[in-house]
Amino acid sequence: MLTPVETFWLNWHAAHSPAPDDLRARILLLSNAGARPEAVAESLGLPLVEVTTTLERFAAHRLTDFPRPALSPDALSSAAGVDAPHARRVADSALALFKGARNLHRLPASLRLALETAALLHDVGLAVDRPKRHTTGRELLRGVDLAGFTRPQQQLIADVVGLHRKKVKPDEEGYLAALSPARRRQTLALAALLRVADGLDASQTQTTQLHGVVTTPEAVTLRLSGPKAKGDAARARKRADLWRVVFHLPLETAPAPEPPPDLQQLAATPLTPETSMVEVTRRALAAHLLRWQANEAAALEGEAQAVKAVRVSARRWRQALKLFGGYFKRKPARYLRQLIRKAEDVLGALRDWEALLADVKAHRVEAKNGTSAGELQALTTAWEKERRSALQDVKKWLGGPEAADLHTALMGFISAPPVRADESVREAAPKVLRAALAEVAEAQAAIDADRPRSYHELRLAFKQIRYTLEFLGPALAPEAQALVADLVKMQDRLGALNDTRLLQRRLADYLDTWAEHQARRKAPQLHGAQGLLEYSHARRESWSQQVQDLTTDWPPVRAARLKQRVNALLRALKSTTRPARS
């Protein structure tokens, strides 16, 4: 008697395998249908001995007597009559859960394909043996060479399919006990995601939409919409028994909030003096979320310009919330700033090492005809190692749960801002711009050549007023653009000065480490250090020259002149005709 899995594969061999395997499969199928060996032989025009030999070999070896079919996932799905629209919806929901719950499952991104394939094939056993379709699906997948997957990957997919329905008791599944602890945990975690995703289309209508995954210390909540969402949500919660075992958090469902805003439309919203400051903030966050999204994939690959773009977006987000945070409830605004700050820290570390490397490489070119060029190679190598480490941190962060949390939090903030108060640009601009002017005046008065940090504080003050003008710019007079351009020039000079200060500190750290190494070797302290000392001296001279060069771009934005220009913008804003009341 053939099992359902054997019947499926023998039918496949009868239809697709070359001779003699196709003929042997037909012998077994006819025999299984009740035909006697003599009748099978007569029907197929074969000697009786060939029929009896085939039956005896199969009794001893079963399907191992046949070659393993080599099929793509699509071909296997088609052969098994899988409901493709349902399978695709389950796969999409599973991938959305994988992304939205990254901070919970912490599975490597490399397992996304295994989850997607398991979801597409989760019902591969349905038409073969409906009551046991999960275990039948597992056995079908164990009997095929799945194109594009290694044998261990295929085993993982098969095990996940086998766990996608019925109550799972991990301690009672013998094949799970044979897995390593790490692979066992991955199998159960993927199965937990697949079970919930399957429940989200229990109605088989592909109408229930998953809009977001919200994770708190108390529960995970799925935001759903659709005409069948209530029933599908109930099924998903029921199928979350393994989820609770693996992730130790209950799964809840809730109606999705209003449709998320159109970021493109919001970012392009015209600003006028009557625009509310809440809308100014939402517009700024949306514009830079679009920029982040456009560059995220390339940044994950380490592309330098894309990494810079996502770093700029993070900086603008935090500045918008810092400048206009008073219009929002403190707690949610503070939480979002903390998430953004983490992004800035990770992305900023890479930027710093890139700036340092660019400087030392430029110095090496200048010194190529001297002895110091070779002596700087070790420094370049050490800093390049730090840069590669920082780049790996960026990739890991962008592909990890914290980046997903930031994206979710930003979308939530933009969609439903936690407003505490509001006023128009006309009302708010004098307050925010004059507060920024006061910081510039204070920082300028505190400039001290013997206190390098004072220049950094001035840079931050200029940055704050520059960003304020950029955020409000479309509602201000055209002269605001020229003022921003002058602020950018001064900010760039102060930024270069800050880079030189950073380089001096990092170079001093390197020299200390180098000196300790020389001491352990009992080598002369200056042996091999001439190039490093020359470079350090060159950076000190560079600092002095950069301080002198500030005078080039400073006059148009010195505190007194800056105040005049900002006040002119505010007078123009005040005199702008108000819209007629209806």
Cα–Cα distances (Å) from 51 to 26, 64, 199, in that order, read 10, 18, 47
Report the C-alpha gap between 532 and 53 in whole angstroms: 83
Read off the pLDDT of each residue in 73-81 and give the average, rounded to a whole number: 91
Report the C-alpha gap between 249 and 216 in whole angstroms: 9
Instruction: Specify the pTM.
Output: 0.60
Q: Are the CB atoms for 125 and 133 separated by under 8 Å?
A: yes
Percent of the chain at pLDDT above 90? 50
Report the C-alpha gap between 576 and 574 in whole angstroms: 6
Q: Residue 254 is inside which H or E element, if any?
A: strand 251-255
What count of residues does the chain have?
582
> How high is the pLDDT of residue 9?
85
Cα–Cα distances (Å) from 163 to 128, 187, 524, in that order, read 17, 9, 67
Q: Confidence band (pLDDT; 50, 70, 90) for 202?
A: very high
For residue 224, the cross-strand partners are: 210, 255
What pLDDT, in 10s, does the model give residues 22-55? Answer: 999 899 889 889 999 999 898 989 999 998 999 9
Q: Are the CB atoms for 37 and 52 separated by under 8 Å?
A: yes
pLDDT at 371 over 50: no
Q: Confidence band (pLDDT; 50, 70, 90) for 581?
A: very low
Alpha helices (H) along 325-424 = 330-366, 372-375, 377-398, 401-415
pLDDT at 156 over 60: yes
pLDDT at 167 over 80: no
User: Minimal CA–CA distance to 543: which of 500, 492, 494, 499?
Assistant: 500
pLDDT at 196 over 70: yes
Q: Which of 88-102, 151-165, 496-510, 516-530 has the lowest mean pLDDT?
A: 516-530
Read off the pLDDT of each residue in 134-155 and give the average, rounded to a whole number: 88
Q: What is the sign, positive or negative, of the torsion defined by CA atoms of 440, 441, 443, 449?
A: positive
3-state secondary structure 141-162: HHCCEECCCCHHHHHHHHHHHH
Q: Are the CB atoms for 251 and 222 separated by under 8 Å?
A: yes
Read off the pLDDT of each residue in 405-432 and give the average, rounded to a whole number: 91
DSSP classification of residue 35: -
Q: Are the CB atoms for 424 and 275 separated by under 8 Å?
A: yes
User: Minimal CA–CA distance to 547: which of 456, 443, 440, 436?
Assistant: 456
